[in-house]
Amino acid sequence: MKQNTLVVVIVSGAICFSIGFIGGALLTMPHREKTKSAIEAAEVKARQVQTIAQEEIQAAKAEAEHFQNELKSVTEKLQEAKTEIARLRSEQERHADELERDKKETKLSPSSPSTEPKTADGKQISVEQKRVQEQEYQQKQAKLKADLDGFMAALKAAGIDKSIIDRCSAEDDKLTIVVANAWHFQPYQIRLQSAQNLWNLWAKLRSPNDPDKARIELTDYNGNSVGGSRWLAGSLIWVKKE
């Protein structure tokens, strides 16, 4: 009898333990499913963040590469402008040497008084002197054209087109710059600095040893003065404040 009772107790205990274990497993199963879903959602979110970060990195790399290409292009344009200026200066030096040689040849070559033309007051003018004067004038005009060409080449290399400066002309040491309508809408300080930079470029080309001899004048399409060099010195630049 005691043995049967003991068996019943053991079996009952095993059944209770099994029921409790199964019940605990059933209770913890939803929690495990929720944890698994949360982990999967976190992994999906992490992959999305990683994808977005990679896209942003690629965009930043592309932007940096574009900037480097732009910088390289500007550097190449500036180098071309420097090369053009050097070439123009070389031509100026060659013209100066030719003029000096012509002057020496004029001094050495004798002229016949009978063939020399006379002015209204009876003074004789040497044919050679007249030829030298013409050559000097041509040399000055050639240098003026070379300086103007160098100025325009530098503007082009810097990316300045007709939307800002319409055209330029030069006479002696004075450069006249016709600005476009967009110029007038720029702030005063920007226009002043731009005018100063334009004068500085012209002075380096036209009169590097005496910069104040070089002068500029800024006008609108109708020829109205809107800035330039003051009469005291070429480096004293002004622009309209309105």
- 121 close to 144: Cβ distance less than 8 angstroms: no
Backbone angles phi, psi at 229, to 5 degrees: -85, 140
How is the chain split into domains, by residue range? 46-109+123-159, 162-242
Q: pLDDT tens, 113-136?
A: 444 455 555 556 677 778 888 888
Q: Mean pLDDT in the chain?
A: 77
pLDDT > 60? residue 32: yes
Q: Which residue has the tokens 């896209």?
A: 55
- Burial tier of 123 (Cβ tally within 10 Å: 0-12, 13-18, 19+): exposed
pLDDT, greater one: 106 or 84 = 84
Give residue 115's pLDDT. 47
Taking Cα atoms as reference points, which of 242, 195, 190 lies closest to residue 215?
195
For residue 143, list its beta bridge partners: none
Cα–Cα distance measured from residue 11 to residue 33, given in angstroms and rounded to the nearest whole number? 33
Cα–Cα distance measured from residue 82 to residue 153, given in angstroms and rounded to the nearest whole number? 9
Q: pLDDT tens, 181-237?
A: 999 999 999 999 999 999 999 999 999 999 999 999 999 999 999 999 999 999 999
Cα–Cα distance measured from residue 222 to residue 225, given in angstroms and rounded to the nearest whole number? 9
Q: Which residue has the tokens 């002309």?
A: 169
Cα–Cα distance measured from residue 162 to residue 153, given in angstroms and rounded to the nearest whole number? 13
